[in-house]
Amino acid sequence: MIYGIGCDITEIARMRRAAEKEHFVRRAFSEQERQRFDGMRDPCESMAGAWAAKEAFGKALHTGVSGFSLDEVSVLHGENGEPYLELTGNAAKAAEGLTVHISISHEHDYAQAFCVLEKD
């Protein structure tokens, strides 16, 4: 049964400006995500997609991104490049009993993400 659906769109140029602030990057992204971004020539497109996914997850929970830290939601990728969320701390507690599905797209100046939460 569908528990919640969320979507978000993020302007890549806005993420580029935000990423200039180290405090923002440390607060918004997990260590795993930051390590992945460090290996990229221009990580801002991926950062915008990850940010949109975190926002979409919060919307699907019906709470927004309150009640957990953004760095407790890691956007990782499987063997075929498909995104998935790794949840820790309060984010994991908020999603207990839920299956998370995430999709991220990039087009020109924007990154967009959809999140569907299924109740087990």
Residue 54 DSSP code:
H
> Which listed residue (21, 62, 101, 106) is catalytic?
106
Catalytic residue status for 59:
yes
Active-site choice (23, 54, 59, 119): 59
Task: Please list the alpha-helical segments (H only) found in the chain.
Answer: 12-18, 22-28, 31-38, 44-61, 89-94
Give the pair of three-digit tokens for residue 77: 């990728």
Q: Phi then psi for 36, rounded to 5 degrees?
A: -65, -45
> Please, which residues have CB within 8 angstroms of residue 67's CB and are 6 or more apart in sequence?
90, 94
CA 16-21-27 angle, to 5 degrees, is 100
Residues marked active site are found at: 59, 106
